[in-house]
């Protein structure tokens, strides 16, 4: 999607979107268009029962008196209540409506709106961000899609009184969106294409963005004693990897201890010897979603040259059954020396994270760690697909995450940690076992991770319900959502970034 900014003007072709406030009150541009069409716009609005409610639209094809091929009136609802995220959704909605309409261009007239709580330029930038986010499509393997189903809309012109200010406001958003798109690409790829080795290669390509990338293979990880991570990958033909990305955007390389983002990158989760049932197993290609978010967030930070010091660490493994695979009952030793009885080879994410979390602390002594993982099906049972659940002992970190979620729309909900849950993963033969009883499955998984955290502020975000959606969402077409990138970017920006 090509996005540009220009002065308010009547477009010569394509779709032309104008706004109306509540009760259908037309914006100045809408009024002007109505006049040009000799009142056809307001007549159409009346006949369609258009009340100017938020997201309500009415369209005129081939409007007489205008060069544009289509005129669309979009309702804003009560203007005072509109925030930045509402404009993103409006932009996305417009894109969704027009994507395959035949129009190649969309021009949106963003007049100064009285009583609006945000700057017009910010509203304009957010409209653009919404269009762009919604325009993402993963169609590289669709060779026979009929042309009529393919999007025609290629160009969006956002028109405002001060297009320069809007363009500037959009730049930062667009840089973060490049990270969101990378995450969506990674999550969408099938597991025969994106496996630990090829995933590591894609991460290595981020060197071009100024990110320092180090990839550890099995030999190096064995040397470090990462028996927990390696046990998960030992049934796979593909070599397990630990990929480390470092972004230091603090001037003069200062910035002290970094913050660490750690991700679960199980490129396919069959369950291993504790094999999953066949129905729906294809979904487990996105069991690398946590790693996908971390990689996308690193790209976003580098793209906007964040003045922050951040390391991203992802454990990349494929969980397969084979004659080499680890068995239920095996005892493995993690890099920090703790022993784990592997009761269920399908509770593999926590094993991967145990060693990745150790590495983050050992190598970087970070100020704070956030890990992200599609860790438990139980998460989807408790929160569905609306909120990711998170766990932390730090109220400060919890406040920070809640604030970043509110600002970006990537919703999170805090769930408890408690020593009584921790007891549930004691093992009679080793220091711990990798599963607890049936109840509170997401919490016992978090307690397991906590056993690998020393003295550092840490939060675990279980994104099992968030990285993929089987239906269209407000800012994405069905499939990979890109959830989490904006959350992490915002968290870094608000709490770990130097001011200009």
Binding site partner of 133, from Zn ion, Mn ion, ligand BES, none, Cβ cut-off 5-8 A by kind = none
Binding site partner of 326, from Mn ion, Zn ion, ligand BES, none, Cβ cut-off 5-8 A by kind = none
Site string for Mn ion, 253-292 (x = CB under 5 A): ----------------x-----------------------
3-state secondary structure of 91: helix
> Residue 345 CB, nearest distance to ligand BES (Å)?
9
**250, 173 Cβ separation under 8 angstroms:** no
> Residue 270 CB, nearest distance to Mn ion (Å)?
8
Q: Which of 350, 433, 486, 490 is catalytic?
A: 350
Share of the chain residues as helix, strand and coil, in percent rounded to the nearest 5: 40, 20, 40
> Residue 330 CB, nearest distance to ligand BES (Å)?
15
> Residue 268 CB, nearest distance to Zn ion (Å)?
9
Comparing C-alpha atoms, which of 321, 363, 327, 337 is closest to residue 216? 363
> Residue 349 CB, nearest distance to Mn ion (Å)?
6
What is the spatial distance between Cα 366 and Cα 369, in angstroms, rounded to a whole number?
7
What is the spatial distance between Cα 291 and Cα 392, in angstroms, rounded to a whole number?
19
**200, 158 Cβ separation under 8 angstroms:** no
Residues in contact with ligand BES by CB under 6 A are 269, 287, 344, 346-349, 374, 376-378, 380, 435, 441, 464
Rounded to a whole number of angstroms, the distance between the first and last alpha carbons of the chain is 30
> Residue 472 CB, nearest distance to ligand BES (Å)?
20
Contact status: 371 vs Zn ion (CB under 5 A): no
With contacts defined by CB under 5 A, name the span among 20-28, 41-49, 114-122, 339-347 that binds Mn ion: 339-347
CA dihedral 177, 183, 189, 193 (to 10 degrees): 120
> Residue 105 CB, nearest distance to ligand BES (Å)?
39
With contacts defined by CB under 5 A, name the span among 54-62, 183-191, 345-353, 477-485 that binds Zn ion: 345-353
What is the spatial distance between Cα 398 and Cα 391, in angstroms, rounded to a whole number?
8
Binding site partner of 376, from Mn ion, Zn ion, ligand BES, none, Cβ cut-off 5-8 A by kind = ligand BES
**58, 73 Cβ separation under 8 angstroms:** yes
Comparing C-alpha atoms, which of 402, 395, 410, 446 is closest to residue 425? 446
**424, 448 Cβ separation under 8 angstroms:** no
Q: Please give the full DSSP string across 159-213, using - where no structure is assigned.
A: EES-HHHHHHHHHHHHHHHHHHHHHHHHHHS-TTTS-HHHHHHHHHGGGGGT-EE
- For CA atoms 424, 427, 432, 437, the dihedral sign is negative
**Cβ burial, residue 127 (10 Å; 0-12/13-18/19+):** buried
Shorter beta-carbon distance to Mn ion: residue 129 or 342: 342
Please give the structure tokens belonging to residue 143.
């060779």
Query: E strands along 210-258, which residues?
Result: 212-216, 241-248
Shorter beta-carbon distance to Zn ion: residue 69 or 269: 269
Shorter beta-carbon distance to ligand BES: residue 269 or 341: 269
Q: Which of 97, 155, 202, 276 is catalytic?
A: 276
Shorter beta-carbon distance to ligand BES: residue 34 or 269: 269
Shorter beta-carbon distance to ligand BES: residue 37 or 374: 374
User: Pairing relation of β-strands 241-248 and 259-269?
Assistant: unpaired
Residue of the chain from 86, 218, 287, 477 that contacts Zn ion (CB under 5 A): 287
Shorter beta-carbon distance to ligand BES: residue 176 or 266: 266
Contact status: 269 vs Zn ion (CB under 5 A): yes
Q: Please give the full DSSP string across 462-473, using - where no structure is assigned.
A: E-TTTSEESS-B
Shorter beta-carbon distance to ligand BES: residue 135 or 444: 444
Binding site partner of 378, from Zn ion, ligand BES, Mn ion, none, Cβ cut-off 5-8 A by kind = ligand BES
Contact status: 349 vs Zn ion (CB under 5 A): yes
Shorter beta-carbon distance to Mn ion: residue 95 or 468: 468
Q: Which of residues 342-371 bind Mn ion (CB under 5 A)?
A: 346, 348
> Residue 448 CB, nearest distance to ligand BES (Å)?
10
Does residue 276 have an active-site annotation? yes
Contact status: 330 vs Mn ion (CB under 5 A): no
By the criterion CB under 5 A, which residues form the site for Mn ion? 269, 346, 348
By the criterion CB under 5 A, which residues form the site for Zn ion? 266, 269, 287, 349
Catalytic positions = 276, 350
């Amino acid at each position: 999607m090509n996005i540009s900014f220009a002065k308010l003007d009547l477009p010569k072709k394509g779709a032309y979107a104008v706004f109306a406030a509540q009760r259908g009150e037309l914006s100045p541009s809408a009024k002007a268009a109505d006049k040009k069409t000799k009142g056809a716009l307001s007549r159409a609005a009346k006949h369609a029962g258009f009340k100017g409610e938020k997201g309500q639209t009415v369209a005129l094809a081939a409007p007489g008196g205008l060069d544009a091929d289509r005129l669309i009136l979009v309702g804003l609802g009560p203007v005072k209540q509109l925030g930045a995220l509402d404009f993103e959704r409006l932009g996305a909605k417009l894109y969704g409506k027009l994507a395959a309409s035949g129009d190649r261009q969309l021009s949106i007239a963003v007049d100064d709106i009285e009583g609006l709580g945000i700057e017009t330029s910010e509203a304009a930038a957010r409209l653009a961000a919404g269009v762009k986010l919604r325009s993402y499509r993963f169609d590289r393997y669709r060779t026979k899609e009929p042309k009529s189903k393919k999007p025609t809309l290629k160009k969006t012109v956002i028109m405002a009184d001060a297009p320069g200010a809007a363009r500037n406001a959009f730049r930062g958003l667009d840089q973060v969106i490049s990270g969101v798109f990378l995450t969506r690409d990674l999550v969408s790829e099938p597991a025969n294409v994106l496996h630990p080795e090829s995933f590591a290669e894609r991460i290595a390509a981020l060197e071009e963005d100024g990110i320092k990338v180090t990839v550890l293979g099995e030999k190096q990880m064995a040397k470090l004693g990462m028996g927990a991570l390696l046990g998960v990958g030992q049934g796979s033909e593909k070599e397990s990897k630990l990929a480390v990305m470092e972004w230091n955007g603090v001037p003069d390389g200062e910035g002290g201890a970094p913050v660490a983002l750690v991700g679960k990158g199980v490129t396919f989760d069959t369950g291993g010897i504790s094999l999953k049932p066949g129905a729906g197993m294809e979904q487990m290609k996105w069991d690398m979603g946590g790693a996908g978010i971390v990689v996308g967030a690193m790209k976003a930070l580098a793209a906007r040259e964040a003045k922050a010091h951040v390391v991203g660490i992802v454990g990349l493994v494929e969980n397969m059954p084979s004659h080499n695979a680890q068995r239920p009952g095996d005892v493995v030793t993690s890099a920090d020396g703790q022993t784990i009885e592997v009761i269920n080879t399908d509770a593999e994410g926590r094993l991967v994270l145990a060693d990745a979390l150790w590495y983050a602390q050992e190598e970087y002594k970070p100020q704070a760690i956030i890990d992200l993982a599609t860790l438990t099906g139980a998460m989807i049972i408790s929160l569905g697909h609306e909120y990711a659940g998170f766990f932390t002992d730090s109220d400060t970190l919890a406040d920070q995450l809640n604030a970043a979620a509110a600002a970006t729309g990537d919703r999170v909900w805090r769930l408890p940690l408690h020593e009584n849950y921790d007891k549930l993963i004691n093992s009679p033969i080793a220091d711990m076992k990798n599963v607890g009883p049936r109840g509170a499955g997401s919490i016992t998984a978090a307690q397991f991770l906590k056993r690998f955290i020393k003295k550092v502020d840490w939060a675990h975000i279980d994104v099992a319900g968030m990285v993929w959606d089987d239906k269209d969402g407000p800012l994405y077409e069905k499939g990979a959502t890109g959830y989490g990138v904006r959350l992490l970017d915002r968290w870094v920006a608000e709490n770990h970034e130097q001011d200009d």
